[in-house]
Amino acid sequence: MLVAFGAIAVLAFVAASVAGAASPRDPAPKAPAEAQARPAASDLIDHRFRPLAGKTEVHLGKTYGGKVLLVVNTASKCGFTPQFDALESLHARLAPRGFAVLGFPSGDFAGQEFAGEEEIREFCRLTYGVKFPMFQKVSVVGDAAVPFYRGLAAASGQPPKWNFHKYLIGRDGKVAAVFGSRTAPDAPEVLAAIERALAAPAP
């Protein structure tokens, strides 16, 4: 009887050991929190905005997916406001190749934007002849930043530091380059980055 009991105990021990070997003792390692927070490329432009002083929202992904985009936070009363000229020229010249400038007015930096969207729209049209897409006034930094700009900051590691900060988004929906306010939209490095993005195949 003792022999039989011992044999049963040995078999139970072996079965438990095999089961333990088949199942991992620790859960699979998780990606770092920063990587988990980083938005997927396909989600980066999955946002809706009203056109400036408009009512019907535009879905960025459906409207501009597969295009090369230069996203700029604009302001009407900034020392960099004359960049509107180069932005409009870029948009007009390269739009036929699948390029677009997207402007997002913001008063986050020194309150250098008009309060009303009608006033912003009239200023952009009458002063600089802006025809590229301009969207509703938004916050682009801090806790009040809209999800689109939080995603851009997370994907690039660079939130806007001032007005006319520029994010270049490739056809694949990923941030291809970032340029600060002092870099003109038609600077050689910006033009070169846009050409590389335009040359890339659509996903």
Q: Is the dihedral of CA 120, 121, 126, 128 positive or negative?
A: positive
Tokens of 170: 């490739």
Q: State yes or no: is 78 an active-site residue.
A: yes
Give 58's DSSP letter.
E
* Catalytic residue selected from 53, 58, 78, 198: 78
SS3 24: coil
Q: Which amino acid is at 175?
A: V
C-alpha 119 chain-centroid distance: 27
In angstroms, how far apart are the furthest CA atoms of the chain? 102
Q: Kindly compute the dihedral angle of the four CA atoms of residues 32, 34, 36, 38, in this order, to the nearest 10 degrees.
A: -150
C-alpha 187 chain-centroid distance: 22
Report d(CA 148, CA 165) in Å as an integer.
14
Catalytic residues: 78
